[in-house]
Each structure stands twice: as structure tokens, then as C-alpha cells.
Amino acid sequence: MEIRLEQVVKSFDKKQVIHSTTLTIQNGSFTTLLGPSGCGKTTLLRMIAGL
């Protein structure tokens, strides 16, 4: 299964925390999300999981 996000945006109240993000994860691949604390890594994973 391929995971694809295109121009995804997420806001909490009026603060946009995910800005027009596009991501494709190919079947069988390993992907790492790297970034500083508070940059939206967990939020993006929750969006992918549908939480």
C-alpha cells in the first residue's frame, strides 16, 4: 500500500501547524520524520492514521 498526502493543511484554532505538505511513502519503504520538538511530526502521523 502506498501512502500519499497532497497539499495537506492542519490548523489548531487559527494557528496553522501543517502547511501545504505533500508526502509519498512507497510500499515496503522505511521513512523517518525528523525535526525539532513542536514542528508537527506527531500531528502529521495522527493525520495519516486518521486520529
- Rounded CA-CA distance 30/17 in Å is 24
Q: State the 10-residue block means of pLDDT for the chain, 51 residues long.
A: 94 92 94 93 93 71
- Rounded CA-CA distance 46/48 in Å is 5
Domain hosting residue 14, numbered range: 3-26+34-49
Q: Are strands 15-25 and 3-12 parallel, antiparallel or unpaired?
A: antiparallel
Q: Is 21 helix (H, G, I), strand (E, B) or coil?
A: strand
Per-residue pLDDT, 6: 96
Per-residue pLDDT, 1: 86
Q: How many domains does the chain have?
A: 1
